[in-house]
Structure 1
Amino acid sequence: MHAGIVGDAMTPDLKRSLAAQREVIDERLARLVPRALPGQTALDEAIAASVLAPGKRLRPMMTVLVAMDLGGDVDVAVDAGCAIEMVHAASLTLDDLPSMDDASLRRGRPAVHAAYGEDVAILAAIAALSGAFETLAKLSGASDAVRSQSVVILTRAVGVSGLVAGQLADLRDGAHQRDVTDIAATNSLKTGSLFSAAVEIGAVVAGADHGVRIALRNFATELGHAFQLLDDLLDQDANAGRTGKDVGKDIGKSTIGSVIGSESVVGRIRAHVARAHDFLNESVGPKSLMHGCVDFIFQEAMPVTEGSSLRQQDVGAQ
């Protein structure tokens, strides 16, 4: 059973391996990013600013690592992961709009609408979305079945049973008092949907069976809950430099943290991460690089508070 970041799980070799995968993804993403017509410079720059802005590339990394673990074609997985990153970028661009979260900062840079205007930002998001599905439809080296299944999986993750549903619930219901179950359901739609698509598409690329895909979806659900809780926790931080985006945007919004308090949130994050590791063990085994990838996210980002920090012995140790 995986023991989190105990021992050698976050060795320099693992860090180098994850960094190398991210570099490959960045290089391929730069080639796949949609380009505007000649003369439409603002749109071209806005698409690039949205899709290529510096980031952890967590979602495409998940696709690639799962495919690697299951013996799939890594090149196909990289392209599929880039498609998911385009969708993620588009969702952030739309999420930041004044009609949505009204944020001015994203990934340490001005939000796309702040830099290029709302009209161009919306068009850039649509371009990124169309680029994502074109990339999946054309996956070089993949069978027709892999292409079609990947398109269906990502479509569901984006649509009325995924990101769209989660965003609407957050916008309409977030200002009202909600119980933890309702908030968690919204978080699962808003954050977990793309995580689930990322790992399941990686499994599809590798030809994994239904049981593996189900376990990976469960992993993604747990990771999504932990990730959204962490995001809510960091939103309370006074230093936007830690997140690269505006903080305090959740003030007045019903989040799990506002219901149960920050100290309890840290405990919930630990529990979700531990269950995520268990589902990884079930689907891809205890030696997967994904274990280290998950640990790295939370080890690096968790705010340190007395008695509640997510220290090395905590993550995945349950």
Structure 2
Amino acid sequence: MTATAHQALSHASELLAIRDAVQRRLDQLLPPGSEHDLVSAAIRESALAPGKRLRPLLMLLTARDLGCQASGVLDLACAVEMVHAASLVLDDLPCMDDAATRRGRPTVHRQFGEDVAILAAVALLSRAFGVIAAAEGVRLGCKAELVAQLSTAIGAQGLVAGQFQDLREGAAQRGEEAIARTNELKTGVLFGATLQMAAIAAGAGPRVRDALGHVACDLGQAFQLLDDLADGRPDTGKDCHKDLGKSTLVALLGADAVARRLRGHLHSADRYLAAACGERVQTRQFMRAWFEQQLVGVA
């Protein structure tokens, strides 16, 4: 086996171990399941269903590249995943995207009812902040800033604003800037919180945090463009063709142009990650490999 192949295999094994650690810790942090407690069952279904775990992996690898080994970062990563899971539950509701399938399974409201789905999402958001407050190995003085980062990403200037724009303006004719702004709010802000929380835990300075802010913007755009390109594919685990009639960049510019733009964002993100993390390259290797895998058959 060549040195390069050995490194790739070792890196893949390490990523799998990190993903497994996230899954185990999520299981521990969530309320125990019970057939008589539908809300707890819905919470566990939404957060523990097989998923990419992209944001927890990104946080843990970035923190490591920044020299942070605090055990509590795993809990911070789980908190971000809880927020992401809650956002998907709400996004899928009939009053929003009215989705039937998520991660290859019936959406939470299809399984448990709309009332239970909403309560589960609220409980997940609440639990996320409780997990941050109790995270061990994270300096007490950091926790208020960590909470502020995540709450801003969720709130009226973050995910909420992005979802509102998508619902109310998504079917209207929009220009590139308006579409990109919605993409940033729907996706980029949570990547931003993920990276900034890693930087806070690591005690990183303004230069590093500024570079990570640029990384988050590029990754948010790239991820949303990837999602738009894959809309018609039957192997995404989600409803097909949910973007029909919506003003996406794919509809506006065409798939080829969007694929080029996506790769431009990835190149920019890689450049800023290099500026933030220097010679430590685990996060860069992960993001390159993850997007290349996702782009097979898409762009």
* Short-chain TM bin: over 0.9
Bigger relative contact order, structure 1 or 2, given CA contacts below 8 A and separation 6+? 1
Query: Which residue number in structure 1 is paired with residue 43 of structure 2?
Result: 47
Residue equivalent to 1:226: 222
Say whether the 8 Å CA contact 1:174–1:254 is kept in structure 2: yes
Q: In 2, are the aligned partners of 1:106 and 1:244 still within 8 Å (CA)?
A: yes
- Paired with 2:163 and 2:12, the residues of 1 have a C-alpha distance of 33
Q: Aligned to 1:187, what secondary structure does the other structure show?
A: helix
Question: What is residue 8 of structure 2 aligned with on the other side?
Answer: 11
1:273 to 255, 260, 266: 266
Instruction: Letter of the 1:260 partner, please give it.
Output: L
Regions of 4+ moved over 4 Å: 7-10
Shift of 1:41: 1.8
1:9 to partner: Cα distance: 10
Q: Which runs of structure 2 are paired with 1:141-160 in the superposition (5 Å)?
A: 141-160=137-156
Q: In 2 relative to 1, CA 75–34 (structure 1 residues): closer, same or farther, beyond 3 Å? A: same
Aligned to 1:118: 114
| Equivalent in 193, 208, 211 of residue 207 of structure 2 | 211
Gaps of 5+ in 1: 1-6, 310-318
Aligned to 2:282: 289
Does structure 2 conserve the Cα–Cα contact (< 8 Å) formed by 1:34 and 1:131?
no
2:32 is the counterpart of 1:26: no
Are positions 1:183 and 2:176 aligned together?
no
* Cα pair 1:34 1:128 within 8 Å, conserved: no
How far is the alpha carbon of 1:51 from its aligned partner?
A: 0.7
State the identity %.
45
Matched, 1:84 2:80: yes
Equivalent residue for 2:64, pick from 60, 63, 68:
68
Aligned-residue offset at 1:286: 4.5
TM-score using structure 2 length: 0.95
In structure 2, stretches of 5+ residues that fail to align are none
Q: Does the Cα contact within 8 Å between 1:146 and 1:204 map onto a contact in 2?
A: yes
Q: Distance in 2 between matches of 1:145 and 1:8?
A: 43
Question: 2:115 and 2:32 mapped to 1: Cα distance?
Answer: 17
Deviations 1:79-132 (A, max 9, x none): 000000000000000000000000010011110000000000000000100010
TM-score when normalising by structure 1: 0.90
Deviation digits for residues 27-82 of structure 1 (CA, Å, limit 9, x no counterpart) = 1111112457x785211110000011111211111111111111213411110000
Query: Counterparts of 1:104 and 1:12 in 2: how far apart (Å)?
Result: 36
Give the alignment's Cα RMSD to 1 decimal: 1.6
3-state SS in 1 of match to 2:189: helix
Tell me which protein shows more helix as a share of its residues: 2
How many residue pairs get aligned? The number is: 296
